Amino acid sequence: MTSIDSNPTSAPRHIVVLGTGGTLAGMATSAEDNVGYTAGQVAVSQLLAAVPALQRRCAEGWSIESEQVAQLDSKDMSHAVWRRLAERVQWHLDRPEVDGIVVTHGTDTLEETGYLLQRVLAPTKPVVLTAAMRPASAAQPDGPQNLADAVTVAGQVGARGVVAVLAGKVWLGSEVRKVHPYRPDAFDAGDAGPLAHVEEGRLRLLRDWPTGTPLGLQVLAADIWPEVQIVVSHAGADGRVVDLLMEAGVQGVVVAATGNGTVHHDLQAALLRAQSAGVAVVRALRGGAGCIVPTGHDLVPDAGALTAAQARVEVLLRLLSRRA
């Protein structure tokens, strides 16, 4: 599916921007420092006020409101913040006057939050995550353009689902992953590719918007979430870490596997012991693109094209669903 909306701003839209911090809200002591900054320093309302394109939207009749849900470096994302964010997203989605939502987020765990929000909410309105690879204090920050593009997508008539907008590309929240530690064009979706491009304030859609059946907010209601950890298969790997996790009461284990979902035989033996003891065990990609192709004699289920971090969220949600 390929289309260009030639007049995406024909009617004023009502957009809510929820801030959670990240590099987009980061500050460094020098405008030339793009790595030695402190994330989550600038309020989301200040970020919006500094983007001329958004002021022009408001002059055209758009309503853009903001709320600070959290203020953190996304490497420190917690289950509690996830639940709070999902609750606030759903609250605003339920407001009939709201057309779309933008979430400012750090890049480090954006792929996890995007996956969780899509699985839990599967919204019929657009929920757009955006971020930055350069802090707000940078001489050439990428955050302002990403914010402007995110609002454009959130205001698109017919848009739905959780997506991420960065560097002019729109990714599905369930597919996006960070693939580079430094450059502004740091995200990808493996073989799936982008959903759309944002070009001069217009959206060029490459395939259809995401759909799905929401798990519902009740799945996140537990005060104590299951313990799900990630282990990595590598040369010389053994099963000691899995055995220790079992002693600690782990309920789920994702193994970041080599090749086509292969796992070192010593590590696999420990994983099979855990699986036999009732621990949810899943194989996921260690890196790169593609999808684990089933062999027909796999002893541990696979997570398809999900990254290990996304697979952990999936296992977590499955375990939470049993309690809901």
Dist CA 1 CA 5 (whole Å): 13
In sequence order, what are the residues at sequence separation of 6 or more whose Cβ sits closer than 8 angstroms to the Cβ of residue 15?
62, 63, 64, 65, 98, 99, 100, 101, 102, 151, 154, 155
Candidates 271, 307, 272; CA nearest to 289 is 307
- For 266, the token pair is 């010593």
23 is catalytic: yes
Catalytic residue among 20, 23, 113, 307: 23
What does the block give as tokens for 50? 């500094």
Largest CA distance in the chain: 63
Q: Say if residues 29 and 168 touch (Cβ distance below 8 Å).
A: no
CB-based contact 69:18 (threshold 8 Å)? yes
14 C-beta neighbours (distance < 10 Å), count: 17
Q: Which residues are catalytic?
A: 23
